[in-house]
Structure 1
């Protein structure tokens, strides 16, 4: 029998072929410049020093031409550096860690639900099913007012929660960075459900006696993605105010958002949202470059509010009994997927390497010209980022993004573990996830981080950061006392 040909599909490592293609396309300019520079160098060596000197002397230089050329170079250089955006540095950030007394184990949560909804056992059973599939752990926390029976969602309790979270995070941040209240030039705070008068930024100004000319902004009603909106606003302000510091506060006050009715769509937030907050210090000062943790590279915002379904998929309203709550639509995941698609369509060209963009382009052309049944190519965002911080809004959100972006279990580990340990802390969840990666000693110099958040409206926002230096675990991290236990196995259904 004649010898058969070897099975090349098994003998050739296709992944190395793909890596070779990626390296070639991503470094095509380098590969083109190397032979050109080599040719020039050989030609210079062939001419010799005498011929090069004679060639230089043969050139006739006019003084006016030289001065004009120098002036033009200086002018172009000045315009370039003036038009170039200021670099935005994330100097450091601090997270609020709730006390042990605020923890709400499943047994406690269900006991309180029974006492608060004794006339509706179906509502209690529904909340139990949600908790079993939520991905939350036994150590998540609710504010003190929610531990009362019945809860006390009044103004005084809401202010007390806001002050506890905000002031604790700011105090920790000031201790870590050494910044003084008088050094803060810009103050941005976001909180969706609680918007008192005076505002919470006024509470901070009063507490820390900030300067009278501080530029303060209080954002409300913008959902779980408002943290990145605050970052975007602070970035724009730092672009026009040189030599400035910006303090960004992201939190959600849980106390006033407790729902005491029996509408299932409104009971979901009770089961998922928990206590938390973050304080972030941004700067455009050159001297902060050496101590800053990250550089802000991109912020991409997508708003789908023009569509009625998207607008109403997370909606605060009163139920049939006049009790206020936030209703989550059944179409939420489909709308979130559509918003994510629009967001990454804008994000892709900014961050993806040339090899992925070419594959996407060729597949798109092939579907349009050759065969519309071709499977669309999903770009490999793992080539653009080392770390992913997906908003810990719920288990379904993380599952869907892991599937759509073809991420590994390690890529979504920070999101799952944050949901397990702290619950859905709304806009601050991205910072608990980033801190998890740091606590695991995985953040190295040059690493790129993609933060993705969803919020009411409906919005999908993204931020891209580049790590300035290798970051070591810190003792004041909210993960410091439990990081050795993580990651933990989270069953599909936890029987209560």
Structure 2
């Protein structure tokens, strides 16, 4: 486990946002005119009931028209700014903090490429201080939220008492390809649009400040990359479709599941803990098979991953911010007690597992 140096950083507030339009899996099959029983089965047996998406306008035949890569990038930027701003504003409101207090902003996204990145655009949109430090984590995929959190807690630990914010902004509908193949249909059945933001503050002078009250401290991280499966999850250029496209290998759940136990045990052993000491599990909603593979390999119950499963049901896979939606539901549930330990876990391209140890 990589331990946090300096003052302990605490997650003090969380906010989430999604686009206004949402669709059931059945509605999406109808909108896109999908009749292939194999593809319909993928959609209807995914553990997902509804997703928030920004769909393209209809063509004269009534079906969503094919968007150019330029239009998809504009969607990534426009929709991303809207939901990113809402998530950060909600987070700051829950903390009773003013945007002018934000000293560091880290933005995460894997559904498009823009320069300047979301950090610069959101600093302007929200009126954050122009001297605000910033970082963009781009192209790391679904695991990237914990990679970014490591950077943010490191910054906060080096600047005790100052407010840092991490925002995940994922417009997955700006990264879809509709070609009727099983390869793209698996992706199209899974991902949804959404943003999430968390506020991080390190204790000043070793004391818990007012804003840190009740928020979990991040004690350390553990990572594992399975380089022999480096191409199992990727987002790259599809020459035939002339746009970027997601690819998910069917073996992904088993690759991730097989390495989950070693990664988590290494995280816990660094703190002298066992899995039985963990009261709360916050996992990435990567898909039903991924969740089941991780749950079985870690010996977790469905209750342990209840928030992960309900986020998948209500929103689909929100990529890098999915675990923060699960974290928000845990916080709102009211079951956390002082002294409880928790584990955050994300999975993504590489293939990669990222984990973090929390204590309330």
Fold-level similarity (TM above 0.5)? yes
Tell me the SS of whatever aligns to 2:14: strand
TM-score (norm: length of structure 1): 0.65
Runs of 4+ in 1 over 3 A off after TM superposition: 144-148, 317-320
Seen in structure 2, the aligned counterparts of structure 1 residues 179 and 320 have a Cα distance that, compared at 3 Å, is closer
Tell me the equivalent position of 2:347.
Answer: 454
1:150 aligns with 2:65: yes
CA distance in 2, matches of 1:387, 1:283: 21
Cα distance, 1:89 vs structure 2: 1.4
Equivalent position to 2:328, from 435, 448, 456:
435
CA distance in 2, matches of 1:424, 1:318: 21
For structure 1, which runs of at least 5 residues remain unmatched after alignment?
1-82, 357-380, 468-496
Alignment of 1:36-115 (within 5 A): 85-99=6-20, 102-114=21-33
* 8 A contact 1:161–1:255 mirrored in 2: no
Tell me the equivalent position of 1:193.
Answer: 111
Higher strand proportion: 2
Cα distance, 1:86 vs structure 2: 0.7
Tell me the equivalent position of 1:127.
Answer: 39
* 8 A contact 2:160–2:201 mirrored in 1: no
For structure 2, which runs of at least 5 residues remain unmatched after alignment?
none
Cα distance, 1:342 vs structure 2: 4.0
1:350 aligns with 2:350: no
Seen in structure 2, the aligned counterparts of structure 1 residues 151 and 165 have a Cα distance that, compared at 3 Å, is farther
Cα distance, 1:211 vs structure 2: 2.4
Seen in structure 2, the aligned counterparts of structure 1 residues 146 and 223 have a Cα distance that, compared at 3 Å, is farther
1:300 aligns with 2:222: yes
Cα distance, 1:239 vs structure 2: 2.9
1:161 aligns with 2:72: no
Q: Deviations over 1:82-101 (max 9, x none)?
A: x96211111111111443xx
Cα distance, 1:427 vs structure 2: 1.5
* 8 A contact 1:194–1:256 mirrored in 2: yes
Taking only aligned residues, the RMSD between alpha carbons, in angstroms, comes to 2.3
Structure with bigger RCO (C-alpha 8 Å, 6+ apart): 2
1:258 aligns with 2:179: no
* 8 A contact 1:261–1:323 mirrored in 2: no
Aligned residue pair count: 345
CA distance in 1, matches of 2:45, 2:281: 23
Seen in structure 2, the aligned counterparts of structure 1 residues 332 and 290 have a Cα distance that, compared at 3 Å, is closer
Equivalent position to 1:333, from 253, 271, 296:
253
Q: Which has the larger radius of gyration?
A: 1
CA distance in 2, matches of 1:174, 1:316: 32
